[in-house]
Amino acid sequence: MKHLLDVQNLSVAFRGDDRRERTVVDRVSFHVNPGEILCIVGESGCGKSVTALAIMDLLSRNGRITEGSVRFDGRELIGMTAGEMDQIRGSKMTMVFQDALTSLNPVFTVGRQLTESLRVHQGLDKKEAAKRAVTLLEKVGLPDPATMMKKFPHQLSGGQRQRVMIAIALSCDPKLLIADEPTTALDVTIQSQIMSLTRDLIHELNMSMILITHDLGLVAEMADRVIVMYAGQIVETADVYSLFHTPAHPYTKALMGAVPSIYDSSDRQLASIRGTVPENYTELSGCRFADRCDHACEDCRSGAKSEGTFSVSAEHTVRCILYAPESDKEVTSCV
């Protein structure tokens, strides 16, 4: 199958106040198939959002892609001019951000912001764009869309603003939607409504989606495949069924162990992951999760054999020495 999005060895670095560059995304490779929902999970600071911003060419001025390839629909995005990216971003590839209030322009009405995208990318005149905008607001479940067109972002609830953001993102019938924690600021009931709406629209419009989230329950509900990121690297990739039934990487298992379930016994104690995600993780040798891992050994910390990605099954890979072929395992001591 031809991939809609193919990311290979993508690295991103940011320049700090001391003028030094620090790599925050390290040789990340993955793909998205047509019609697929790919979820990216991991703690804050693992590089999930930066990866998405790099794909969209929305990095801040002190950030840059240092190496790698990003191919979308057969075209290489890295090296494109701003004008060429503008033809793709917002029309064929769109993004829904975490905080809709800061993403929407506070001085323009909902209608103005929605019709702008339609007029720029679809070439519609003012009347046609307004008619299409009302249809989109109705599609995302907003009541009285004609009245909603005249409102400003601050006059809407959090759920309504996020629905407006989804309408803007879907206005040009994109092939790929990137959603970065789209329900973080919403209550549980509204979260469920927004994600159910998004999933239905994805299938209806035959789109692909990258969903960045901390919520493993949401992953189980939405994903076809899952990427687990830690400290700027992909540590596990699997289809959603394999990830939940046979998680491989100790970090993935730890994340699972920290999630409550309605099937838990009354005496179950949730696990916790000691420590935090390291900041300057590119300066670490070996496995970046070693200091927080209960299975770490000297080889994990030294880096001698901890850099490879190994296959658990045909579609399930993991970055952990525990899954290296027996001939490559020469563990000297374990914690």
Q: What is the per-residue pLDDT across 206-225, written as a single tens digit (0 to 9) for each? A: 899 999 998 888 899 899 99
Name the least confident of 91-100, 260-269, 316-325: 260-269
> Residue 327: its pLDDT value, please?
44
**Which of 17-21, 150-154, 331-335 is most confident?**
150-154
> How do the domains of the chain map onto residue ranges?
5-92+172-328, 103-171
| Alpha-carbon gap, residue 267 to 245, rounded angstroms | 22
Mean pLDDT of the chain: 87
pLDDT tens-digit series, residues 179-201: 998 877 677 787 888 888 888 88
What is the dotted CATH code of the domain comprising 5-92+172-328? Answer: 3.40.50.300
Q: Please, what is the Cα angle at 256 between 251 and 261, to 5 degrees? A: 170
Q: Return the H-helix or E-strand segment holding 85.
A: helix 82-88
Tell me: pLDDT of 330 over 70: no
What would the mean pLDDT of 165-173 be, rounded to a whole number? 87
| Alpha-carbon gap, residue 192 to 180, rounded angstroms | 16
Q: Please, what is the Cα angle at 261 between 256 and 267, to 5 degrees? A: 100
Tell me: pLDDT of 88 over 70: yes
* Cβ proximity of 10 and 28 under 8 Å: yes
* Cβ proximity of 156 and 164 under 8 Å: yes
> Residue 52: its pLDDT value, please?
95
> Residue 285: its pLDDT value, please?
81
> Residue 48: its pLDDT value, please?
94
The pTM of this model reads 0.89
Instruction: Please write down the long-range contacts of 217-221, taking CB distance under 8 Å and 24 or more positions apart.
Output: 217/259, 218/39, 218/183, 218/191, 219/39, 219/41, 219/243, 220/244, 221/195
pLDDT band at 131 (very low <50, low <70, confident <90, very high): very high
* Residue 134 token pair: 């009302």
Tell me: pLDDT of 329 over 80: no
| Alpha-carbon gap, residue 78 to 242, rounded angstroms | 33
> Residue 25: its pLDDT value, please?
94
> Residue 4: its pLDDT value, please?
95
- 3-state class (DSSP) for residue 180: strand
| Alpha-carbon gap, residue 272 to 318, rounded angstroms | 21
Q: Residue 153: which of 145, 161, 144 has the closest Cα?
A: 161
* Residue 107 token pair: 């001085």
Q: What is the tally of helices (H) and strands (E) in the chain?
A: 12, 12
> Residue 41: its pLDDT value, please?
95
pLDDT tens-digit series, residues 18-59: 888 999 999 999 999 999 999 999 998 899 999 999 999 999
- 3-state class (DSSP) for residue 90: coil
Q: Give Cα separations from 317 to 121, 220, 324 (angstroms).
A: 39, 18, 11
Length of the chain: 335
| Alpha-carbon gap, residue 310 to 305, rounded angstroms | 11
Q: Is 306 exposed, middle or buried (0-12, 13-18, 19+ CB in 10 A)?
A: buried
Query: Could you tell me what percent of the chain has a pLDDT over 70?
Result: 95
